[in-house]
Amino acid sequence: MVLNQKEGWIEVITGPMFAGKTEELLRRIKRLEYAKKNIVVFKPLLDNRYGDNEVVSHNKNKTQSYNISDPEEIFNFVDKETNVVAIDEIQFLNEKVIDVINYLATNGIRVIVSGLDTDFRAEPFSFMPRLLSIAEYVTKLTAVCVKCGAPATKTQRIVNGKPARYLDPIVLIGASESYEARCRHCHKVYRKPKKYKGKL
C-alpha cells in the first residue's frame, strides 16, 4: 500500500473461476485479523455452495460471514468501529453495491471484494467493469487451463459434458461439476455470435 494514504479505499480481486480469488480474499482477511482490525465479511445469499454464513475457498479455507441479498443490508452490520468490509462473489449482488462500497470507502473503511470479471461467455459480468474502474487497487489472477496448461483467464461452463450455449442463463451456481478454467484458445461457447470478422 502507499505510505501515508488516508484510510478508506476499494480493492478488487478478480479473474476466472479456480484462480484463487476467495483464497486471496481470505489471506488478506487473516493478515488484518493479526493487525487487530475490526473486519466484517459478507457474501451473497445466492452463493450456497459450501454452506451458509461462511466464505469458503475451493481449498476449504473459510471465515465467518453474513449472507445478504441486498447490498444495503451491509449497513445493518457496520458501525464507526468497523475498519474493513470484505465481500466475496460480489458479482452476484445487484449494481447498488457500487454506491454502497463507494460510500464506505469515502467514509474511511477499507473495502476488499472478490468476483468474476467475465461470465461463461467471456463477456463482462454485469457491473464488474464499473467496479474495476473505480477501485484504487485491482488484482487480476489467472488459473491453469485444464485443456492445455496455459494461463487461464476464462470460465468454461460445462453442460452434460459439453460447452454451454450462448443463450443459456448467465448465473448458474456451481463448482468443478459445472465449470472449468480455460485459456482464450480452449474456451468454447456454442452458438456465440461473431462480432468481428478480421482479415487474418
Tell me if residue 33 is catalytic.
no
Domains within the chain, CATH numbers bracketed: 9-141 (3.40.50.300)
Instruction: Pick the catalytic residue from 89, 95, 123, 180.
Output: 89
The confidence score (pLDDT) of residue 54 equals 77
The confidence score (pLDDT) of residue 200 equals 66
| DSSP result, the chain | --TTPPS-EEEEEEESTTSSHHHHHHHHHHHHHHTT--EEEEEETT--TT-SSEEE-TT--EEE-EEESSGGGGGGT--TT--EEEESSGGGS-THHHHHHHHHHHTT-EEEEEEESB-TTSSB-TTHHHHHHH-SEEEE--EE-TTT-SEE-EEEEEETTEEPBTTS-S----STTTEEEE-TTT---BTPPP------
Could you write out the three-class secondary structure of 109-155? CEEEEEEECECCCCCECCCHHHHHHHCCEEEECCEECCCCCCEECEE
Cα separation, 62 vs 83, whole angstroms: 20
The confidence score (pLDDT) of residue 3 equals 47
Intervals of the chain under pLDDT 70 = 1-5, 48-51, 58-60, 173-177, 196, 198, 200
The confidence score (pLDDT) of residue 2 equals 47
